[in-house]
Amino acid sequence: MAYIMVIDDDEDFAQVVAKVLKSSGHEAEILLDTKSAAQRMVEKTPDAVILDVMFPEDSNAGFDFARWIKSQRDKFEGVPVLMLTAINEKSPIRFSTRDIDPTWLPVTDFLEKPVDLDVLKHRVTALLAKAKSSART
């Protein structure tokens, strides 16, 4: 069982994601903004993070939060981040896994909303397995 943070301002969507994660045997905690997520990560390091990009307080908050996680190497190194967002519906710039970059977009994987829940489960399982494997080496 993994402890996974779901950081998304859309509480209904986050509840669905959490339910899917729980049905796979994981513990899922929902945080509705990046400020409270940062505070919670310091208190309890997650095994993985599922992160939205756009939040009411800042349309780029998810990008900034991913960079903050990366900057906290001592504390969060090895914690995979799955960016799960609808940014491509609202932005003229198209984002995908090709944009993952250690500096600009330091996430482990990228999925677009709406998401197929079976694909989400598969990607989370793969992220956790890769993180576990990397921790052993």
Q: Which helix H or strand E contains 61, and what residues bound it?
A: helix 61-71
Q: Cα 90 to the chain's mean position, in Å?
A: 19
pLDDT at 137: 62
Distance separating alpha carbons of residues 19 and 1, to the nearest angstrom: 14
CATH architecture of the domain 3-136 equals: 3-Layer(aba) Sandwich (3.40)
pTM over the 0.75 mark = yes
Domain boundaries, the chain: 3-136
Q: What is the pLDDT of residues 10-67, one digit of tens each?
A: 999 999 999 999 999 999 999 999 999 999 999 999 999 999 998 998 988 999 999 9
3-class DSSP assignment, residue 3: strand
Residues 6+ away with beta carbon under 8 Å from 95: 85, 87, 88, 105, 110
The single residue listed with the structure tokens 């513990």 is 27
